Structure 1
Amino acid sequence: MRRLKYDGAWGWATIFGRLVVGWMERNPDRMAGVDLIVGNPTWTGRTPIRHIEEILKAAGVEDTAGRWPFPASPVLVKPVDTDRSAGKNREAKRLAAAAHAKAIRIERRVQDRTVLLFDDLFTTGQQMQAVARLLREAGAAEVRGLVLARALWRGADRQGALFD
């Protein structure tokens, strides 16, 4: 993940996209009823790569049968940067997640849809919960989550990334 997110190694987006589609194909019961797949958005100015968007774009290409509802363009857009939560305690992560969700624009109708919210790494779940709440407030009927990895537990009130 580090190579993609921080070094801009684009090829990893294809690999992760294939993992996402492979999981969907192996878990049709968990995908039943999903109308829309959205990524927890990366800030539009992030460099070297907007990794979530690239992973989902690659997954859409990998879905050659067109079986899964990958949108042609991002549904959630984050036009401003917000504080990162990496290495912070649970309360700081909660505050960063709230700021992250507040910064997001919803570019397409989500009302009455079952949305699959995708992210790369799950640490405390604060960010996933804040974005899911945003989607529900915008009228989504249900929000499910899918992540590539879960961070290792690193103490009573701190979790670190798998690539630390």
Structure 2
Amino acid sequence: MDAVALFAAPLDAKIKKFKYDGAKGWAIIFGRLIVGWLNAHADQVADIDLIIGNPSAAERTPIQHIETIMLAAHAEDTAGRWPVAAPSSPVLVKTSETKKSAGDGVSWSDKMEAAKAHAAVLKLRQSVKGKRILLIDDVFTTGATFHTVGKMLMNQGGATEVRGLVLARVPFGGA
């Protein structure tokens, strides 16, 4: 698991504004951060076959935040250097909304249950068999979601490897 930055001020506030208030303009910045990280760490991801976002449900309000970030990352990669899945043809979709795993007072077991529920409603729209995948998400806290989604991609989809990249990682000891 790699992170572009720590989930700390001022980035944490911008991610929350984007994710929970629908401040769409931040997607361009977040997409640029992802592509910039890929360019700066090209040796670490040169063998990646496919880059996909950890999807949010179509009915998520105010914004399908991961899809919007991935759209921006796809557009930012003007040279087509990175195998970012085309937003018009998603590889992985979330078929329905599930309970949120973020927030105050959410225990580790709550997060794990939410992560399992999330992975259970994911559907592959394209084959990932034999592929090395870089899974993109916004914030990494416990790793529960990455664990369950990665396991799903490997066990059900046949991916050979799943690595993770997030915009921000919660500092050890909490945010």
TM norm structure 1: 0.91
Looking at structure 2, the residues matched to 65 and 135 of structure 1 have their Cα atoms a distance apart, in angstroms, of 28
How many percent identity over aligned positions? Answer: 51
Q: Which residue of 2 aligns with 1:135?
A: 153
Match of 2:113 in 1: 95
Paired residues of 1:41 and 1:78 also in contact (CA < 8 A):
yes
C-alpha contact 1:5 1:51 (8 A) present in aligned 2: yes
User: What SS is found at the alignment partner of 1:146?
Assistant: strand
Query: How many angstroms does 1:39 deviate by?
Result: 0.6
**1:30 partnered with 2:49:** no
State which drifts further: 67-76 or 6-15. 67-76
Q: Distance in 2 between matches of 1:48 and 1:83?
A: 16
Whether contact under 8 Å (1:39, 1:74) holds in the other structure is no
Tell me which of 120, 124, 129 is aligned to 1:106: 124
5+ residue gaps, structure 2, are: 1-14
Structure 1 residues 13-162: aligned runs within 5 Å: 13-72=27-86, 73-86=89-102, 87=104, 88-137=106-155, 138-154=157-173, 159-160=174-175
Structure with the larger RCO, 1 or 2 (CA within 8 Å, 6+ apart): 2
Quote the RMSD (CA, aligned, Å): 1.1
Letter in 2 for 1:32: A
Report the AA paired with residue 11 of structure 1. Answer: G
2:120 is paired with a residue whose SS is helix
Give structure 1 stretches of 5+ with no counterpart.
none
Q: Displacement, 1:69?
A: 0.6
After superposing on structure 2, the runs of 4+ consecutive aligned residues of structure 1 that deviate more than 4 Å are none
**Which amino acid in 2 is paired with 1:108?**
Q
Give secondary structure in 2 for the equivalent of 1:3: helix
Match of 2:22 among 1, 5, 8: 8
Q: Deviations over 1:37-78 (max 9, x none)?
A: 111111110011101011011011000100001111321111
Aligned residues: 156
